[in-house]
Chains A and B, each alone.
Chain A
Amino acid sequence: MSDATVDPRFRRKPPKRPLRLSWADERVRGIVWQLVVVGIVGSIIYWLWSNTVHNLEVRRIATGFGFLGREAGLPIAEHLIPYDPTDTYLRALTVGVLNTLKVAVVGIVLATILGTAIGIARLSKNFLVAKIAAFYVEVIRDLPLLLQLLFWYTIMQGLPGPRQALKPLDGVFLSNRGFRLPALVWEGAHTAAVLACLAGIVATWLYARSARAKQMADGQPRRVWPAAIALIIGLPLLVWQAMGAPWAIDWPALRGFNFQGGMSMSPEYAALLIGLVTYTAGFIAEVVRAGILSVSQGQWEAAQALGLRHGPVLRLIVLPQALRVIIPPMTSNYLNLTKNSSLAVAIGYQDIVSIANTTLNQTGQAIEGIAIIMLVYLTISLSISLFMNWYNAKIALVER
């Protein structure tokens, strides 16, 4: 409706009524109620606060974050950055945050892949596939995650020792010391290839943008995929070839009582990752299924009637609509996975909760320790929701 058709009287704000000091005035009631509620909440907080201050004085606990600079003296088995027990608490806590991120990021990626596959399998026309997927989702979602983590950890501990380690594939060892996998010996050429791949992705994006602009101008569709393959796969391969194509693999081997070489995954990390991924995948599967079902059959038929082929129908019509339904619940599943990674403390993986808990037991700084845990998770949660909200706004339906 354009502005000209609106009666100007309706666009005027209602005149401001003077505040009448009477219980009958809605605004007076509102102010009184707010004062009452804020007063009650404020006095409860003040009461708790004064008790805490008094208790800290009585127990002679110094508050403040000064303890962060002291020597931690707590050993940490897994660390992404160099760490030694003689380092400070601050560094120990940083190691913990990185360990949380390590399991959360890998978990989110794997859970998305597994969950999407199971969600699609639940819609399969094959009865067996659909029923197995449904059974998986129902059982996984009805058991507490903590129980599943303890179960996986028990299985990890029940694996044979390094000497009798299971070898499902050549070079892969499963033992009660964790998983050992072959690793690529990292060299300069690999870094260059990764950089070339990133450059290729950026170039492809620019090329696709210009191709779309040209299509908008003359209506002729242009193929993007040959250039995309050349830039994203061909360019890194070429760079890697030019730098001598190094391809050395570090095979794990049994020496003495444990394995040497290769990439290792501790039993704690493996149990936590398997538990989190299989659990969250059950929830993601339901989200994906609901998203696919939300696009009506008519959308497929209408797109086919326009003469589009299967690929473009999926890419241009169905997926954008399904994603709109999928993204918000997917965000909360990602957040849940990150928060659930705090259960690591129960099986001895040293994430931020576990290290902060040890810190507060060693130093007695309970309030600071818990504040650190909460702050870390609030920061991670807010970052994930900000990113997903930005992405959601980008794909959201633009209504008039």
Chain B
Amino acid sequence: MSDITASTPTLHGGSPARSAPITAVGPIAWVRANLFSGWLSTAVTLVLGYLIVRAVMGFVDWAFVNAIWSVPVNGNGVAQTQACRELHGTGACWAVVTEKHRFMLFGTYPFEQHWRPALVCLLFVALYIVSSMRSFWNWRLIPIWAGTLTAIGILMWGGVLGLPYVPQERWGGLPITLILATFGLAFAFPLSILVALGRRSNLPAIKALCVLYVELIRGVPLISLLFMASVMFPLFLPEGMNIDKLLRAQIAIILFAGAYLAEVVRAGLQSLPKGQYEAADAMGLSYWQKTGLIILPQALRTVIPPLVNTFIGFFKDTSLVLIIGIFDLLTAGKTAIVEPSWQGFGVEVYVFVGLIYLVFCFAMSKYSQGLEAELNRHRRR
């Protein structure tokens, strides 16, 4: 008796506390509250449940049960895709992915050197992971970025350390997407800070220039800038001077991203209370001391989540270089199905390419949500 009273203490020595009824707590109560709370909710749950089961079964049939994972290749290197065509869309032809994945990931990079772009992709991912850790948010990031980007350049081009030289025209696939996004970010971010500061400046000429730049770029689609880079840029340069297409597209992307990021940074600058500016002035700090030591550290911290969201948009937007014929991941996917024997298997290829984009963007998006919650912790009560 004594151990029972110890485990279920009662207030006035009456009967021990009873557990709540199963209709109020536990899984049954949860199901009742969240799935069958009324006749409408019940009907919706049943209809949706049926549709989900049908859709999942259909997808499993298409993607796994009826799917073909490889096809024979004859002596000329032409794949025999009759088996796939006989499916008539009832099953996926993943053979196109197993056969073409090296081409989609690395483009026309020399086949026996594929470990180099693969290593470059891993270096990029490592760079992203390191940059996302808060313990690295200080000056150490600058040498880390500089070092990694140099290593990536050496790996891609080669020509030193016994690596054969690979001209830039042969690069392609995922490394191009990551290069466009990362270098674009590395240059657009400092540019955007300067433009955002310029837009908040008291000097009318500088302010006007920054407003003009931001509003012009934000008013036109990225495609028109990319067309400009591919068609008009050669006209801008002196005769004989030629910049390759990738670099021109990269410049267009930097200018584009700079304008959008500048607006995000400006929001952060505006969110700081005026007292911070006035206190810094009162201490006699110069403009750059005030900006570098007081304003930017606080302003940037508040806009990190929207900055990450802008990065996601910007990572996706690098796929637009397809239109001016640069060989990024999406272009490589689209080119892989030009070959007659693989024509008509676009859905499988786009699912594969989409999954790669999804992994990168989903990771960034979850990171941004986590960060937002963490940075807002002091506001929560």
Which residues of A come within 8 Å of B, CB atoms?
A: 30, 33-34, 37-38, 41, 48, 51-52, 54-56, 58, 125-129, 132, 138-139, 141-147, 150-151, 154-155, 157-158, 339-340, 342-343, 345-346, 353, 357, 360, 366-367, 369-370, 373-374, 377-378, 381-382
Contact = CB atoms under 8 A, between A and B. Distances in A.
Contacts of B218: 381
A139 B205 contact: no
From DSSP, what is the main secondary structure of chain A's interface residues? helix
Minimum-distance CB pairs A-B, first 6: A154-B346, A142-B361, A127-B34, A144-B316, A339-B221, A342-B221
Nearest to A283: B313
B354 to A, nearest CB: 5
Chain B interface bracket (under 10, 10 to 19, 20 to 34, 35 or more): 35 or more
A155 B347 contact: yes
Contacts of A374: 219-220, 224
Nearest to B319: A144
B78 interface: no
B358 A139 contact: yes
A373 B222 CA distance: 11
Q: Residue among A54, A58, A343 with the most chain B CB within 10 A?
A: A343
Interface of B: 33-35, 37, 41, 44-45, 48-49, 52, 89, 202-206, 209, 216, 218-224, 227-228, 231-232, 234-239, 312, 316-317, 319-320, 322-323, 330, 334, 344, 346-347, 350, 353-354, 357-358, 361-362, 365
Contact of B231 (A41, A48, A129, A360): A360
A37 B209 contact: yes
A147 B333 CA distance: 10
A194 B35 CA distance: 44
Contact of A128 (B33, B45, B239, B330): B45
Contact of B236 (A48, A127, A353, A377): A48
Q: Residue among A128, A138, A139, A367 with the most chain B CB within 10 A?
A: A128
A58 B232 CA distance: 15
B254 to A, nearest CB: 15
From DSSP, what is the main secondary structure of chain B's interface residues? helix
B347 A377 contact: no
Contact of B347 (A34, A145, A154, A340): A154
B235 A51 contact: yes
Q: Residue among B235, B237, B323 with the most chain A CB within 10 A?
A: B235
A373 B227 contact: yes
A395 to B, nearest CB: 21
Given A126-B41, A151-B354, A377 B206 contact: no
A146 B48 contact: no
Contacts of B224: 342, 353, 370, 373-374, 377
Given A138-B362, A138-B365, A370-B228, A147 B353 contact: yes
Given A370-B228, A381-B219, A147 B350 contact: yes
A37 B218 CA distance: 22
B363 to A, nearest CB: 9
A377 B330 contact: no
A125 B44 CA distance: 11
12 contacts: A52-B235, A52-B236, A128-B35, A141-B361, A142-B358, A142-B361, A146-B320, A346-B323, A366-B231, A366-B232, A366-B235, A367-B235
A184 B34 CA distance: 44
A343 B223 contact: yes
Contacts of A370: 224, 227-228, 231-232
